[in-house]
Structures are given as C-alpha cells and as structure tokens.
C-alpha cells in the first residue's frame, strides 16, 4: 500500500522516533507547527478516526497513555493539545490514523 506512515513504520522512510513498541510509534512531525510536535500512530494501517472499532481500539488507548507519559518527559505541564484530523473537511492529509501531540506554545480555541 502506498502510505507514507506505513513506510515510516517499516523503515522505508527515515524519521526521528521518540517512542516505539510492538503496536505503535511516536515520531517528530517533519513540518512542526509548535515547539513540540509529535505524531503518534498505530503500526497497523487504520485510515482515520472514523475507522476506529471495538476490534482495533486498544492501540488508541495506548497512544493516549504514551501521550500523557511524553507530556511529562517533554515538560509540557503548562498545557498541550492532542488533535486528530479526520477526513477532507478537517484537513487530513495522510490517510493513516495519527494523533498530533503539540505543545510549547499557546493554542487558540476554537481551532480554525
């Protein structure tokens, strides 16, 4: 399958990893939009948040657990944001489920 994030998972595309275990990966976004901008992804190809189901949702819980751990390690105690863009209107550009973990600056609400 021609998926950038599957290629990152199998090592075809190099990336700066911050966390890895058997079912998920965390790495730095190539185009950071905040001082800390990490992508957390399942190794399994799940297209978007709309495809999370009872069968594959355990990795999502794990991703949030790791996000919490990384927020402490990266000193984001002032606050951080976890975002997943799902589908065209939300601006999802990579069709492999990913959660942006962003911090180190202020964020506005509601998002644009």
Q: Note the residues at the interface with ligand 5GP (CB under 6 A).
A: 4, 13, 15, 27-31, 39, 85, 91-94
Inter-residue contact 1 to 93 (CB < 8 Å): no
Q: What residue 80 binds from ligand 5GP, Zn ion, none (CB within 5 to 8 A, per partner kind)?
A: none
Q: How far is the CB of 10 from ligand 5GP (least distance, A)?
A: 13
Nearer to Zn ion, 45 or 105 (CB): 45
Residue nearest to Zn ion (CB): 3
Q: How far is the CB of 86 from Zn ion (least distance, A)?
A: 15
Q: What residue 94 binds from Zn ion, ligand 5GP, none (CB within 5 to 8 A, per partner kind)?
A: ligand 5GP
Distances (CA, A) of 110 to 28, 50, 85, 102, 107: 25, 21, 14, 16, 9
Q: What residue 43 binds from Zn ion, ligand 5GP, none (CB within 5 to 8 A, per partner kind)?
A: none
Task: Calculate the CA dihedral of residues 85, 18, 69, 112 and round it to 10 degrees.
Answer: -20
Candidate list 37, 96, 98, 100, residue with the active-site label: 98
45 catalytic? Reply is no
Burial of 47: CB neighbours in 10 Å, binned 0-12, 13-18, 19+: middle
CB-side neighbour CA atoms (13 Å) of 62: 16
């Amino acid at each position: 399958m021609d998926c950038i994030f599957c290629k990152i998972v199998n090592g075809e595309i190099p990336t700066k990893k911050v966390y890895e275990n058997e079912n998920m990966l965390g790495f730095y976004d190539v185009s950071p939009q905040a001082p800390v901008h990490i992508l957390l992804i399942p190794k399994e190809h799940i297209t978007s948040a709309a495809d999370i189901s009872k069968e594959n949702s355990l990795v999502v819980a794990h991703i949030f657990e790791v996000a919490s751990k990384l927020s402490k390690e990266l000193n984001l105690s002032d606050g951080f944001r976890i975002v997943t863009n799902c589908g065209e209107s939300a601006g999802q550009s990579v069709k492999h489920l990913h959660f942006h973990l962003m911090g180190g600056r202020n964020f506005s609400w509601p998002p644009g």
